């Protein structure tokens, strides 16, 4: 069971079947070695998709072993005019790592070293291919950890997290990736290496690190990162609150935040998600419940216990039918087990699911949840909701079977209508998954023409030839040079035998 990878209306078939011009490939092999350049179709299949509904074969995949090699690969790409797409673990959920036609994919899987843990300054220096969870493992002996924790943290990489400004359950209190990246080394579109940002607090100058974080690999490729580490809290309490209705759970979310309490995490699962989880791992969530909230508070002992008491009182006021608390790591792990297994459990309900990533003001959660159910009902589709409810980030998982082309069409249209509803109540089309290829044509819903033009100017300042991850972020009509000019350039340089 996995998110839908696509065979329907927006599926892009394998785009390259002819011979490859060997000249740029030989240049790449001279940099990284023949072993680390993949160009046969069967080798490229693993790189044609991420966890979305898009597919496309690149021209080649390169696996550099150092920042210098990344820069040299960019120099080759710049010389030949070939688009480049950086790829981490391929767990992205917006099509950001899907290669564009005829591109080179730079895989960061070999750039997987933790270069330094500095406990005195609470910093880590890592390469982009390091797994998210491994940073916290390396910092644990010093009583430190890395706060951003995407659900895929055991598989996703720091480079991909930086590209998408990834979030996670515990980002409600501590912020997303951008709040924990102090400096980055990047390879530019021209093949130069440079450091942006500073490990020092409040460094002067433009926040160029902030520009790179969340830019989805369209401005530069991160080759190293300096990450902020946090001390582990002395006390952590997990609260599971069970509600008969989603509306009651949603009101509890607003009530908790309205009291000035900012939990470390505030998650919600609805009845369909609970049904899947209970059939999968039997986490102890009542299958007849309408929704459950998982709330985690932390700090010094008195602070954590005081906030836990307030949270329990608010949940009871909002008609919670049962409340369970976990104080020890084992107790807390049992309460979290269902939430952590939720996406994997959806395979019990349908062969495929399409995960959305809308965000709305917390006070609009009851309204938008009602709309999500109504929209899915109209399209004849079942939905299971898993929410980062504390910050209004909802993840409707639309269940279907990709072998049914009509179902695929309805899923895509249903998803667009749900995201449009989020925008109409003052929200946005992405809370943490990014825009990528999947949602680029929705950008005019949230940005004016002038906004998009300023973004385009920023793109051109960093990457004037649109070689870095083209066809991403910008709506097709807003970026006329998005891919057409680079592709003409490739054809002119490589000749017709390339058939790109």
For residues 31 and 161, state if they share a domain.
no
Average pLDDT over residues 208-227: 98
Q: What is the pLDDT of residue 172?
A: 94
Q: What is the pLDDT of residue 94?
A: 93
Share of the chain above pLDDT 70, in %: 91
Q: What is the pLDDT of residue 11?
A: 41
Q: What is the pLDDT of residue 491?
A: 33
Q: What is the pLDDT of residue 20?
A: 61
For residues 214 and 270, state if they share a domain.
no
Q: What is the pLDDT of residue 4?
A: 32
Q: What is the pLDDT of residue 19?
A: 54
Considering the domain boundaries, does residue 468 fall inside one?
yes
Q: What is the DSSP letter of 434?
A: -
pLDDT digits (tens, 9 = 90+) for 113-149: 999 999 999 999 999 999 999 999 999 999 999 999 9
Considering the domain boundaries, does residue 105 fall inside one?
yes
Which one, of 357, 375, 457, lies nearest residue 94 by Cα?
A: 357
Query: pTM of the prediction?
Result: 0.90
Which one, of 374, 341, 354, 353, lies nearest residue 275 by Cα?
A: 341
In the chain, the number of structural domains is 3
For residues 307 and 356, state if they share a domain.
yes
For residues 280 and 401, state if they share a domain.
yes
Considering the domain boundaries, does residue 430 fall inside one?
no
pLDDT, averaged across the chain: 90
pLDDT digits (tens, 9 = 90+) for 99-111: 988 899 999 999 9
- Chosen domain end from 208, 231, 254: 231
For residues 122 and 35, state if they share a domain.
no
**231 contact partners, CB below 8 Å, separation of at least 6:** 122, 143, 144
Please give the residue range of the domain that contains residue 99.
2-109+455-498
Give CA–CA dist 151/91, Å, rounded.
10
For residues 102 and 152, state if they share a domain.
no
Q: How confident is the model at residue 177 (pLDDT cuts 50, 70, 90)?
A: very high
Average pLDDT over residues 4-9: 32
Considering the domain boundaries, does residue 440 fall inside one?
no
Q: What is the pLDDT of residue 403?
A: 87
Q: What is the pLDDT of residue 392?
A: 95
For residues 242 and 385, state if they share a domain.
yes
For residues 263 and 403, state if they share a domain.
yes
Q: What is the pLDDT of residue 69?
A: 98
Contact in structure between 239 and 280 (CB atoms under 8 Å)? no
Q: What is the DSSP string of 174-225?
A: H--GGGSEEEEEEE-TTS-EEEEE-SSTT--S--HHHHHTTSTTSS-EEEEE
Helix (H, G, I), strand (E, B) or coil at 125: strand
| Residue predicted with more confidence, 289 or 6 | 289
Q: What is the pLDDT of residue 495?
A: 36
Does residue 360 surpass a pLDDT of 90? yes
Q: What is the pLDDT of residue 493?
A: 33
> CATH code at 286?
3.40.462.10
Does residue 492 surpass a pLDDT of 90? no
CB-based burial label for 217 (10 Å; 0-12, 13-18, 19+) = buried
pLDDT digits (tens, 9 = 90+) for 394-423: 999 999 998 899 999 999 999 999 999 999
Average pLDDT over residues 465-470: 96
Q: What is the pLDDT of residue 489?
A: 35
Does residue 176 surpass a pLDDT of 70? yes
Give CA–CA dist 140/155, Å, rounded.
19
For residues 372 and 252, state if they share a domain.
yes
Q: How confident is the model at residue 311 (pLDDT cuts 50, 70, 90)?
A: very high
Q: What is the pLDDT of residue 10?
A: 43
> CATH code at 148?
3.30.465.10
> CATH code at 89?
3.30.43.10
Considering the domain boundaries, does residue 445 fall inside one?
no
Q: How confident is the model at residue 390 (pLDDT cuts 50, 70, 90)?
A: very high
For residues 34 and 54, state if they share a domain.
yes
């Amino acid at each position: 069971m996995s998110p839908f990878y696509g065979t329907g209306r927006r599926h892009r078939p394998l785009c390259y079947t002819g011979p490859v011009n060997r000249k740029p490939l030989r240049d790449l092999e001279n940099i990284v070695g023949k072993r680390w350049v993949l160009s046969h179709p069967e080798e490229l299949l693993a790189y044609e998709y991420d966890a979305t509904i898009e597919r496309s074969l690149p021209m080649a995949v390169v696996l550099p072993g150092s920042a210098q090699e990344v820069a040299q690969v960019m120099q080759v790409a710049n010389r030949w005019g070939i688009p480049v797409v950086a790829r981490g673990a391929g767990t992205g959920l917006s099509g950001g790592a899907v290669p564009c036609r005829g591109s080179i994919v730079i895989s960061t899987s070999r750039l997987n070293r933790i270069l330094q843990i500095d406990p005195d300054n609470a910093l880590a220096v890592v390469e982009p291919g390091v797994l998210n969870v491994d940073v916290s493992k390396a910092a644990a002996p010093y009583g430190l950890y890395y706060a951003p924790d995407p659900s895929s943290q055991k598989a996703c990489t720091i480079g991909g997290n930086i590209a998408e400004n990834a979030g996670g359950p515990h980002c409600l209190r501590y912020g997303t990736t951008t709040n924990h990246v102090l400096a980055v080394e990047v390879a530019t579109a021209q093949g130069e290496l440079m450091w942006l940002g500073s490990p020092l607090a409040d460094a002067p100058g433009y926040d160029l690190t902030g520009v790179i974080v969340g830019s989805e690999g369209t401005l530069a490729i991160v080759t190293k990162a300096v990450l902020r580490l946090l001390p582990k809290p002395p006390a952590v309490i997990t609260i599971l609150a069970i509600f008969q209705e989603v509306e009651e759970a949603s009101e509890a979310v607003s009530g908790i935040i309205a009291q000035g309490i900012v939990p470390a995490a505030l998650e919600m699962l609805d009845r369909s998600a609970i049904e899947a989880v209970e059939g999968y791992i039997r986490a102890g969530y009542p299958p007849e419940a309408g929704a459950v909230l998982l709330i985690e508070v932390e700090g010094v002992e008195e602070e954590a216990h005081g906030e836990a008491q307030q949270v329990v009182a608010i949940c009871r006021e909002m008609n919670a039918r049962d409340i369970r608390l976990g104080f020890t790591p084992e107790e807390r792990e049992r309460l979290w087990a269902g939430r952590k297994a939720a996406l994997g459990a959806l395979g019990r309900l349908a062969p495929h699911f399409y995960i959305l990533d809308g965000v709305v003001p917390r006070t609009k959660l009851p309204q938008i949840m009602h709309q999500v159910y109504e929209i899915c009902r109209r399209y004849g589709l079942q939905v299971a909701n898993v929410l980062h409810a504390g910050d209004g980030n909802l993840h409707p998982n639309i269940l279907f079977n990709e072998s049914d082309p009509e179902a695929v069409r309805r899923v895509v249209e249903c998803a667009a209508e749900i995201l449009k509803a989020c925008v109409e109540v003052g929200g946005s089309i992405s809370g943490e998954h990014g825009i990528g290829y999947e949602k680029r044509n929705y950008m005019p819903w949230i940005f004016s023409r002038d906004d998009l033009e300023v973004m385009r100017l920023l793109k051109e300042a960093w990457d004037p030839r649109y070689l870095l991850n083209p066809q991403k972020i910008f709506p097709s009509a807003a970026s006329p040079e998005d891919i057409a000019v680079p592709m003409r350039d490739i054809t002119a340089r490589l000749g017709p035998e390339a058939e790109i």
